[in-house]
């Protein structure tokens, strides 16, 4: 198993706290493995196996669980009276009204409750109302580039590992498969599961091909501004009959299933959030390769996708920035303040115009918050009037913080 240290440390910090620990994220990103790692930690700390109750509610032996009452009764019969019981409910959203069982377990003095789910419905509606203020969300993503490098155990250089990473993505199980064909087949199966289980089922979508066409458009346009009208017009031009409302519903479903992340826009000078011009970034670029095939990719936008996900992993709230008529790739908000990021695959050109172009939006910002220019070019970090130019692979590995 690949140790997901940052996520594991968060679970450890919240152990025995009077909060339900809710682990969310796209299917196969490692949520179940995280539970196994944490359960091993608990046993190392002296917790007996009998006080660790773990149910994967998509497993065949639990198909008979059709209600919150049945789920609660099943857990209740395994509880020990003396000492804390650690309850792990994996993919709990498959049980109708599961939130009632979770709440009933939460209020017991000897239960520490952990749940996972693969779509945003887990934390919407009645659950959010019923458990308001009583849970902490730990959101997982597939492997980061740093995790991928460490888990691969490869002695290949960072540039070659990066090419592997953007081809096969960060789903942990791909590292156990050796051939390209096996990895792509696996990614196609995960993709189908996300589409069928977490999008079509919850949204009651009948036409899977139309849905796939919209999703393929997003994969082909990561890092580009993508309005619902633009997507609708493009698909109609290709002969597909689809409405703006349908596209909007699909986009929401993609985000709710964690297949894509929506980055809104923020006007730096006006200090306001903009209502239009979202960008969409794929949760895993392996999906992009398996869906679109080996077509040429926009290397700059693919790198942008990687940087966006890394900022999310590091706990930032991330927006696309607008400065006058210029764009900043990312504005990253945290409790500590604001940071600005510009991403360029390479700055090497005959006349140096690329560097001038990439620096201009950052130079236009008059505050003194940190500004970064991330690029695949190697070399010592340099400063351009306070703007730090850093090799992006070093930054992804945490070597340039």
H or E element in which residue 333 lies: strand 326-334
Confidence of residue 125 (pLDDT cuts 50, 70, 90): low
DSSP type of residue 142:
S
Burial label for 17, CB within 10 Å (0-12, 13-18, 19+), is: exposed
Q: What is the mean pLDDT of residues 250-263?
A: 94
Confidence of residue 124 (pLDDT cuts 50, 70, 90): confident
Rounded Cα distance, 123 and 48, in Å: 31
Range scoring the smallest mean pLDDT among 69-73, 122-126, 330-334? 122-126
Is 1's pLDDT higher than 80?
no
Q: What residue segments make up the domains of the chain, in order of their start?
A: 5-139, 145-396
In the prediction, which pLDDT does 350 show?
A: 87
What are the tens digits of pLDDT across the range 261-298?
A: 999 999 998 888 888 789 999 999 999 998 998 876 78
pLDDT at residue 90 in the model: 95
Confidence (pLDDT) at 126? 62
**Topology at the third CATH level for domain 5-139:** Rossmann fold (3.40.50)
pLDDT digit string, tens, across residues 314-357: 999 999 999 988 999 999 999 999 999 999 999 999 898 999 99
Total-model pTM: 0.94
The Cα 290–Cα 169 span in angstroms is 10
At 119, the pLDDT band (50, 70, 90 cuts) reads confident
236, pLDDT greater than 90: yes
């Amino acid at each position: 198993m690949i140790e997901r240290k940052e996520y594991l440390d968060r679970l450890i910090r919240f152990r025995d706290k009077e909060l339900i620990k809710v682990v969310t994220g796209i299917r196969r990103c490692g949520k179940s493995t995280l539970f196994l790692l944490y359960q091993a930690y608990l046993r190392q700390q002296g917790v007996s196996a009998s006080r660790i109750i773990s149910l994967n509610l998509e497993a065949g032996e639990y198909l008979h669980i059709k209600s919150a009452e049945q789920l609660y009764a099943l857990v209740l019969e395994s509880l020990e009276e003396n000492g804390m019981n650690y309850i792990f409910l994996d993919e709990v959203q498959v049980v109708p009204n599961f939130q009632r069982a979770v709440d009933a377990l939460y209020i017991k003095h000897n239960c520490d409750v952990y749940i996972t789910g693969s779509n945003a419905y887990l934390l919407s509606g009645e659950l959010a109302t019923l458990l308001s203020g009583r849970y902490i969300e730990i959101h997982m993503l597939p492997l980061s580039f740093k995790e991928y490098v460490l888990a691969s155990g490869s002695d290949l250089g960072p540039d070659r590992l990066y090419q592997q990473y953007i081809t096969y993505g960060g789903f942990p199980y791909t590292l156990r498969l050796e051939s390209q064909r096996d990895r792509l087949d696996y990614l196609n199966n995960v993709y189908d599961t996300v589409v069928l289980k977490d999008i079509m089922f919850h949204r009651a979508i009948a036409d899977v091909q139309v849905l796939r066409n919209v999703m393929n458009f997003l994969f082909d346009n990561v890092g580009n501004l993508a309005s619902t009208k633009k997507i609708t017009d493009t698909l109609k031009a290709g002969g597909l009959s689809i409405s703006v409302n349908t596209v909007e519903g699909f986009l929401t479903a993609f985000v709710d299933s964690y297949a894509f992340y929506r980055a809104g826009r923020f006007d730096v000078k006006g200090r306001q959030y903009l209502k239009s011009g979202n960008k969409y970034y794929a949760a895993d670029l392996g999906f992009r390769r398996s869906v679109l095939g080996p077509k040429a990719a926009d290397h700059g936008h693919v790198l942008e996708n990687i940087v966006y996900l890394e900022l999310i992993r590091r706990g930032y709230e991330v927006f696309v920035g607008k400065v006058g008529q210029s764009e900043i790739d990312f504005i990253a908000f945290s409790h500590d303040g604001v940071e600005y990021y510009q991403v360029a695959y390479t700055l090497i050109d005959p006349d140096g115009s690329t560097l001038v172009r990439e620096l201009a939006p950052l130079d236009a910002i008059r505050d003194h918050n940190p500004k970064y220019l991330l690029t695949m070019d190697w070399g010592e970090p340099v400063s351009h009037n306070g703007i730090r130019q850093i090799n992006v692979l070093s930054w992804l590995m945490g070597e340039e913080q």
